[in-house]
Amino acid sequence: MFFLICCNKNQKNKTSVIQNLKTKSYLDIKLDSFGHLPSNPYIIEFKKKEKSITFCGVEHLTNNSDVTNKMFKEIEKSFLKANPSIAINEGGSVDGKKYASKKEAILKDGEIGLLKYLSDSLKIKTINGDPEIDYELKELSKLYPKKEFLTYLITERLLWSLYDSKVTNYDSIVSNYNKFLANYIIKKGKLSLSPNEKTFDYFKKNYQELVGRPFEINSLKPTNPFDKNGKFQEIGRKSKEIRDQFLLQKTNELLKTNNRIYIVFGGWHLLTCEPGMHQIINQY
């Protein structure tokens, strides 16, 4: 649970307390059968007095080489109109990244690269809106056995990237798996694993138990947080809910000292975070 103490600048010496900012359940979101947003990007501005939050929700492209895609043009147009004093990105810190051109930013990092490039052009900070993996692992461990949340995270954050990159050789998959565990789960995530828990055979066993079929890289099915059936989808929803609450907390914190915030995140997060964004802006 998150406890957020927020100062309302319009009421001196008074403090409003927001417990667990409101979100909409993924099971209550209405999308078409393909999970598409009403538009890409889908943008909502939350505004009150001098404060504003512009949330740009996107459907992530599978190919960033499409640098002329309408999505990028609309993000830039919306960003310049909002003229933010700070930006929030999805997917980790981009502090050390510099791009020689807008095209290079998009080719390397898609909409996140574009946001960083545009923010640099205004000389404003770009803040990571996602929690560090150790925080997420700690929260998931309160709700699920280690073998279950590890199976979800490995599938979602490693194996899908290998699938998209057409890495199908078994030895290559295992090599990438070992690096992912060592660097992301153990080092960054600060999670202790036994020798057996580190093996790919351990993952495959747990995958079959959780998903109900043997692991095959070419048989991966997308995580669907809108599907109420199955533990795998439930863990996926909870992971997203943890990230949603963290993003809301970060936005609430930053709006105290910044009048205009611009956010670029996956569009489903916009739909679930919309009630909490209204809560945040309505404090002013």
Query: What are the tens digits of pLDDT across the range 114-129?
Result: 999 999 999 999 999 9
3-state secondary structure of 152: helix
User: Residue ranges of the alpha helices (H) in the chain?
Assistant: 70-82, 102-122, 133-141, 146-154, 160-164, 170-180, 200-211, 231-255, 267-281
Bond prior to 38 in cis (omega within 30° of 0): no
Q: For 80-115, what is each residue's pLDDT tens digit?
A: 999 999 999 998 999 999 999 999 999 999 999 999
Distance, CA of 150 to CA of 197 (rounded, Å): 10
Model confidence at 264: pLDDT above 80: yes
State residue 47 phi and psi, 5-degree precision. Answer: -140, 140
5 vs 244 pLDDT, higher one: 244
Are 252 and 20 in contact by the 8 Å Cβ rule? The answer is no
Residue 56's closest CA among 125, 101, 98, 114? 114
Whether residue 41 is predicted with pLDDT greater than 80 in this model: the reply is yes
For residue 16, is pLDDT > 80? no
Identify the pLDDT of residue 18: 62
What is the SS3 assignment for 181? helix
Is residue 280 within 8 Å of 251, Cβ to Cβ?
Answer: yes
Average model confidence (pLDDT) across the chain: 91
Average pLDDT over residues 60-68: 84
Identify the CA nearest to 132 among candidates 187, 193, 56. Answer: 187
pLDDT band at 11 (very low <50, low <70, confident <90, very high): very low
Distance, CA of 255 to CA of 133 (rounded, Å): 24
Residue-level pLDDT at 9: 40
Give percent helix, percent strand, percent coil of the chain, each to the nearest 5.
Answer: 50, 15, 35
What is the predicted pLDDT for the residue at 271? Answer: 96
Q: What is the 8-class DSSP label of residue 157? A: I
Mapping DSSP to helix (H, G, I), strand (E, B) and coil, where does residue 124 land? coil
Longest dimension (CA), the chain: 63
Does the pLDDT of residue 32 top 90, yes or no? no
Q: What pTM value is reported for the model?
A: 0.88
Q: Angle at CA 241, nearest 5°, toward 114 and 79?
A: 25
Q: For residue 58, list its beta bridge partners.
A: 266
Give me the residues paired with residue 175 across strands.
none
What band does 227 get if pLDDT is binned at 50, 70 and 90? confident
Nearest 10 degrees: Cα torsion 157, 188, 172, 213: -40
